Chain A
Amino acid sequence: MAQIIIQGLLLSGLYALIAMGFTLIFSVGRVLNLAYGSYLMIGGYVYFYLTQLLGVPKIVGILMATVAGCVVGLLIYRLLVKQLKGDHVAIEISTLILAVVLQAGIVLLFGDSSKILLPIVPGVIHVGGATVTFSILAATIISWVILIGIYIFIRKTHTGRAMQAVSMDAKGAAISGIDSDRINMITWGISGTLGAVAGVFFASYTQLSPSMWVAPLIIAIAVVIVGGIGSIIGTLVVAHIIGFMEILTTAILAPEMRGVFTMLLIIGVLVIRPRGLFGREEL
């Protein structure tokens, strides 16, 4: 029992981090960024390239990965999203195409074969019958720090409040003098950064591979759909529902049904309660 709780908390922390960047964009711009999984892929590969191929210190690797994620996020916003002027369907489709292009780009540079990251923090600890690697523990702690940081940023800072305002009512925010373009830029930058960080940790859990963008995208979609647009608390809660559901399926039921339950949850919630379990339309 203790080990299920520990493993569930660890996995859910990671899922919350993965979903957070996706939630932000969805709330502020009402846009589904299907290239979100690519941020994770880019973050992971940049980290791998710098630390494992060039031998750069890990902390620098993580920093550079976040910079890369932020830059890619901003570029996607400037070159793609802004061009399409709020046509949500067009943005979804073009970000999907972009994700496939980026996947081909990764194959081109790094090949098809998957790669495993060295542990970010080596070592293991045994707690209550569960084995926990320091890497994953670090990932969970950092994930919580980031989530709390984002929460405070949105509640307490001027920019954060402006983001909140745009997410609730873009037109109203514009009337009251908020530069929604600037707010969107910031959101896309933060989202890319969060995605890249999540990517480094996600890759250290699993592996680097050119198709690694799909799984986190689906996790993010599941969390956001089930949680309802944009609530940070909702994201956090649902990440834990999905994380624990996976751990429980694996530990007690049939592990091969892991993904099936997640999909059924998405479909069920969308059909029965389209606004999500925590469907408040604000951050």
Chain B
Amino acid sequence: MGHIANLREFSMNIKHVAITACAMSALFASTAFAEIKVGFIGSLSSDTGLSTLRGAEIAIDELNAKGGILGQQITLVTADTGEDVTEGIKAYEFLAETEEVDFIVSGSIDDVSLGWMPRMREFQIPTLDTWTSYIGIIDMLVEDFDSMRPYFMNIASDEALATLYIDFGKDVLKDQMGWNSVFILQEDTAFGGAINGLVTDALAPNAGIDVVDTLVYDVATVDFAPVFSRAVDSGADFIYLISSVNSQVVSSQYVKLQVPLGMTGVNVAALGQEFWEDTGGAGGGISTLSPVPSVGFRLDAASQAFLDTYQARYDSRPSFPHFNGYNAYFGVLQAMAAAEEAGGFNNTTWVDAMEKQDLILEIDGEMWIRYAFWGNDEVEPRTGRTYPHNVRFDITEPYDDGSPSMVVIQWYEDGSNAVVYPAKYATGEFVLPSWVEK
């Protein structure tokens, strides 16, 4: 069944090649009349980039159907980065100087965002990042707020993700599963190092789980058999995986090799609904933390409406938007609303208006998801630091001040998935793969 959808996507791609030229010239003809221009920066051939792009497209079409903003229609210009850092810089310059866009929505990955960040500082164009969660960027706002003012990030920064994840370690891994020791399997990237540092420092004192050993592996590793052998030999109760690059390889080999230990952690490949298809079904038993709204997440009415529109409109990959698709959709709506209030995208007034945006999505009268931003001086009580212009997250129960920074999702061996933590958001149970002896 899965391959039919994929086949359609394949032929779509071929057709896409043929019609792109016509479509683009049509798009260009229409830009001449528009006044408000939104730029998209990201990879046009990755699920991540497309999620953001499509979220923005849907938001803009909705607004245009209602007459646009400030009495004008909005057009969307795309600039492909191909997930290449230098291309990302060129793309940002293209949007800023050739297209002179008013606002940029980004689905860039970490190093690409870092690449164009000096251009954002230079051009001072309001920019919303929806995928990268790198705390280093928020730190840049802390250090030099003035030059970073127009930048907003509406996904919880990775530090907040890791902090809440420690609670999962305590509540589920320790108290529910009775695990006392962990083997950390970390990819050799800055992201891996950062998360590992947080987990190692916090897991033992807060959750009472000892780190038996840590293994750092090269992201181009072909064969994980010796890696898993070392994990099993270490005598730990479970494996904590930190993987953002080529995560499919390590997770599918875990499944194919039927490693007799539970494995959870951060597995970026498992964040999308396509994970099952991409691993050819070798994804059962994998769990990972995910920003919200994740796969398996119970959606409120507004998010569900967005998902329905999305699925009615696009029949190629990704068939479900990643979390950044939702973030882009609501983020673009908020950015445009802020422009309406501020009378444009002026650097001072727009930023002030954007800071005041606050969208609370509820289920049964309870706060479910919140799109708002931390103020410049607001201190998050648990970590004791500020997160200027980062999406307002909540990392303490009962999550009534914002969305939780993350949830833990679980893939089951029948290809289904569910949120398993925190309890408020849970739609399923945390389970071990069938081949692991309890």
Contacts and interface: CB of A to CB of B under 8 A. Distances in A.
B347 interface: no
Contact of B229 (A112, A117, A129, A254): A129
A251 B230 CA distance: 7
A259 B219 CA distance: 10
B46 A113 contact: yes
A251 B229 contact: yes
Contact of B222 (A11, A251, A254): A11
Nearest to B233: A129
A100 to B, nearest CB: 12
B24 interface: no
A119 B246 CA distance: 18
A131 B223 contact: no
Size range of the chain B interface in the assembly: 35 or more
B216 A7 contact: no
A215 interface: yes
A129 B258 CA distance: 13
Contacts of A49: 10
A3 B226 contact: yes
Given A111-B45, A250-B217, A130 B229 contact: yes
Interface residues of A, number: 47
Which one of A7, A118, A250 has the highest number of Cβ atoms from chain B below 10 Å of its Cβ? A250
Which one of B47, B217, B225 has the highest number of Cβ atoms from chain A below 10 Å of its Cβ? B225
Contact of B225 (A131, A215, A256, A258): A131
Nearest to B45: A112
B10 A259 contact: no
B335 to A, nearest CB: 27
Nearest to A134: B256
B158 to A, nearest CB: 20
If over half of A's interface residues share one DSSP class (helix, strand or loop), that class is named, otherwise mixed; here it is helix
Interface stretch (B91-99, B130-138, B204-212, B275-283): B275-283
B259 interface: yes
Contact of A215 (B215, B222, B256, B278): B222
A257 B218 CA distance: 7
Contact of B17 (A108, A113, A124, A257): A108
A251 B226 contact: yes
A10 B218 CA distance: 19
Contacts of B72: none
Interface in A232-279: 246-247, 250-251, 254-259
Nearest to A8: B226
A7 B278 CA distance: 25
A129 B7 CA distance: 41
Contact of A131 (B43, B215, B222, B259): B259
Contacts of B83: 112
B3 A52 contact: yes
Contact of A7 (B215, B223, B279): B223
Contact of B218 (A3, A11, A115, A256): A256
5 contacts: A111-B13, A131-B228, A251-B230, A254-B216, A257-B218
Q: Which 10 A-B pairs have the closest CB atoms?
A: A118-B280, A256-B188, A112-B45, A112-B46, A116-B279, A255-B217, A251-B226, A250-B226, A116-B252, A53-B3
